[in-house]
Chain A
Amino acid sequence: MNFLVLSLIKAALVAFVLMTTLAYLQWIERKVIAHIQLRVGPRRVGPHGLLQPLADVIKLLTKEDMLPSHVNKVFYFIAPFIAVFFALIAISVIPFGGDISIGPIKTAMQLTDLNIGVLFILGLSGMGVYGVALAGWASNNKYALLGGLRSSAQMISYELPMAMAIAAPLLMLNTLSFRQLVDAQGGFYFGIIPRWTIFQGPFPQVVSFLLFVIAAFAETNRVPFDLPEAENELVAGFHTEYSSMKFAAFFMAEYANMVTVSCVATLLFLGGWQPLFPAEYGSKFIPTLIFFFGGAICLYHGANPVRAFDRITLPVAGVVFLGIGAAFLIPIVATILLPLFWFSAKVGVILFLYIWIRGTLPRFRYDQLMNFAWTFMFPVAIANLFITGLLVALT
């Protein structure tokens, strides 16, 4: 019973945090791209547009849900469910930190630790294709069908180099459970270089990491591989005919997939919640430093406001930042917050990379996309796997 209650609480917490992340990831994306393109982005709803995600959710929920004629009703309805189900359930095997104990309760910062966690994620990403493919087909629209077909071809092609890129670090770490993967990346070489897979001997997995990130961009249908929803060729691709909440489901699935893939990259290559350098050199003060710095900037600009409402919003944000920074100094709280900080910092960097690339790179042509997967990524992935296997066998 205790286990059941604890699991329910953890599931609710993870679901809440994931949903909030998904909503605000979109706000961050719009803001970052706006600044890349010398615009200001959303700022009408709430201070600096912070309430924009909420407004978007309400808008999507209350919009008219149109059912186009001539669609295949059954598949048209289940496609968004399939997409969002397989995208959201992947978070259940992702660990966010080590074991923690709050009072008498001792638990892991993870919903469940499968000994086949990596395979589970691969299986789910394979099943997620159905949502997109069925949506494209059931819409009975040529653009949607083309988008669906492109997407399934692309996902099948890029799954191979992705699986190969995942296999190389697994050879070195010898386990398929995410928790043990991170544990195997703990510690430091010469007391300073972290033993993350991209730094770890006998063969640092830098190539593998790059391959994984590129394949992940293609798997999640993001720029520069967003051919399935290329708006100037296919209107909106596979979700052209969808509106209201069903459209939102696809949107949510895309962002959930981004988060999952970033988490997997962090866990496999960047050492999960292991810090960048040892605690003796002060890695535990990094979050405090960052949050204090952010708080100080907010307070400074609050004292010298450019716009009228900055006088109120920026000091509030500054005080919140200083509070979070101070929380990292309390030893008991810090044991829980530090792993979470390192994990989310790494995931955040990869998510920022996604947005950054969307703001800067043009789209591939479709034949270039396929050639790139089969004639470049696949051979490189095989060579990388081969060299890794050889070096692991020799040492």
Chain B
Amino acid sequence: MDAILFLLFAAIAVVCAINLVLQSHPISSALSLVGVMGSLAVLYLLLGGEFIAMAQLIVYAGAIMVLFIFVIMLLNAGTELKTKRHLWGMYAGVPLLLALVGVVGYIVHDVLPASGAVVFGSFQHGNPEDIGKNLFVNYLLPFEVTSVLILVAIVGAIVLARKEVD
């Protein structure tokens, strides 16, 4: 059952990701990204990361992508223009892509331990309680530093986007 669900949602994620690149309209691309994030949330759930799955759904699929789509609709962005294909892209594209996939596959295969296969349901510490304990007890400093960093980014964005008021 777990394996079937995994294959199903992994396939949906990959199809959505490919669709994201292939679509020429920004809204279709953004919605494909929502599909990728939604299926990733299901994959997290299958692996036992309940809190992460819901955070993925609320923060990425729910909040960030809604803002993306909001902006695309507000600016009324149209279909992308297709440019003439580059000579390099036509002939060297597919071989280079295959080479990249091969190298990444080789490295992943080489680095990962041979016996460490994933077992569905073996990880039991994905509930909010354990995550909270880890964040606020074991990793308090990195967590707080990250939040300060994000705050700095927000303030910076506001300063950059601010209109000069007389």
Contact = CB atoms under 8 A, between A and B. Distances in A.
Given A137-B27, A176-B128, A123 B66 contact: no
A115 interface: yes
Contact of A116 (B31, B50, B66, B69): B50
Interface of B: 27, 31, 34, 38, 50-51, 54-55, 57-58, 61-63, 66-67, 69-70, 73-74, 127-128
A299 interface: no
Contacts of A156: 63, 66-67, 70
Interface string A119-153: 11011011101100110110000000100110011
Contacts of B27: 72, 75, 134, 137
26 contacts: A72-B27, A115-B128, A116-B50, A116-B54, A116-B128, A119-B54, A119-B128, A123-B57, A123-B61, A125-B62, A126-B57, A126-B58, A127-B57, A127-B62, A129-B62, A129-B66, A130-B34, A133-B66, A133-B73, A134-B27, A134-B31, A137-B69, A137-B73, A148-B73, A156-B70, A176-B128
Contacts of A148: 73
A120 B70 contact: no
B137 to A, nearest CB: 15
Of the four ranges (under 10, 10 to 19, 20 to 34, 35 or more), the interface on chain A belongs to 20 to 34
Interface string A45-88: 00000000000000000000000000010010000000000000
Nearest to B54: A119
A72 B66 CA distance: 19
A148 B66 CA distance: 12
Contact of B73 (A115, A122, A145): A145
A299 to B, nearest CB: 51
A133 B69 contact: yes
Contacts of A149: 70, 73-74
A90 to B, nearest CB: 13
Interface in A11-70: none
Contacts of A127: 38, 57, 61-62
Contact of B127 (A115, A122, A123, A145): A115
Contacts of B70: 133, 149, 152-153, 156
A385 to B, nearest CB: 15
B61 A126 contact: yes
A155 B57 CA distance: 16
Nearest to A124: B57
B47 to A, nearest CB: 14
B62 A123 contact: yes
A152 B69 CA distance: 9
Interface string A168-193: 00000000100000000000000000
A133 B69 CA distance: 8
Contacts of A114: 50
A72 B74 CA distance: 17
Nearest to B55: A119
Nearest to A159: B63
A134 B68 CA distance: 13
Given A116-B50, A137-B27, A149-B74, A126 B66 contact: yes
A43 to B, nearest CB: 42
Nearest to A115: B127
A141 to B, nearest CB: 13
A130 B54 CA distance: 17
**Closest CB pairs A-B (n = 10):** A126-B62, A123-B57, A119-B54, A123-B58, A116-B50, A137-B73, A152-B70, A129-B66, A116-B54, A123-B54
